[in-house]
Amino acid sequence: MDKSIKIFIASDHGGFELKGKIIKHLSDSGYNVEDMGCSSIDSVDYPLYGKKVSEKVADGEGVGILICGTGIGMSITANRYSDVRAALCMNGYMAKMSKMHNNANVLVLGARVLGEGLAFDIVDTWLSTEFEGGRHQKRLDMLE
């Protein structure tokens, strides 16, 4: 992925610490990252932060990364928005396929079920994988 493309990232309290590590990892790698919250480990409602990223992605302003405890809540939230294709990924293969076959524009991670190293691998794989198009585009068109 072109490193100038904006990456919007947000989490709830359960994903706050991993979010900070991913922001540093991406910033150190030269990516353009915007933190959309939350700002501490104090309890917050995940839909508020999922919405912020999903609206930016739906408007075509960039791609997104959402993090909560399991990733399930953020995934449900993001996929309520038109033009958002959020994929909850637990390993590099899922990240690769979510991009190659589904053109996912939001990556969702579960901070309480992934280690830091695996999370970095998932993010890096997702960002470096391109959509194949072709028969996969036909299937995405069917979702409209």
Q: What is the CATH number of the domain that holds 53?
A: 3.40.1400.10
Does the residue 129 lie in any domain?
A: yes
Positions marked catalytic: 101
Global pTM value: 0.95
Domain count, the chain: 1
Does the residue 79 lie in any domain?
A: yes
Predicted confidence (pLDDT) at residue 134 exceeds the cutoff of 90: no
Sequence-ordered list of residues with C-beta below 8 angstroms from that of 26, at least 6 positions apart, any chain: 7, 9, 33, 123
Compute the average pLDDT of residues 133-141.
82
Does the residue 81 lie in any domain?
A: yes
Q: In the chain, pLDDT over 90 holds for what percent of residues?
A: 88
Q: In the chain, pLDDT over 70 holds for what percent of residues?
A: 100
Domain that holds residue 91: 6-141
Phi/psi of residue 67, nearest 5 degrees: -135, 130
Does the residue 1 lie in any domain?
A: no
| pLDDT tens-digit series, residues 92-133 | 999 999 999 999 999 999 999 999 999 999 999 999 999 988
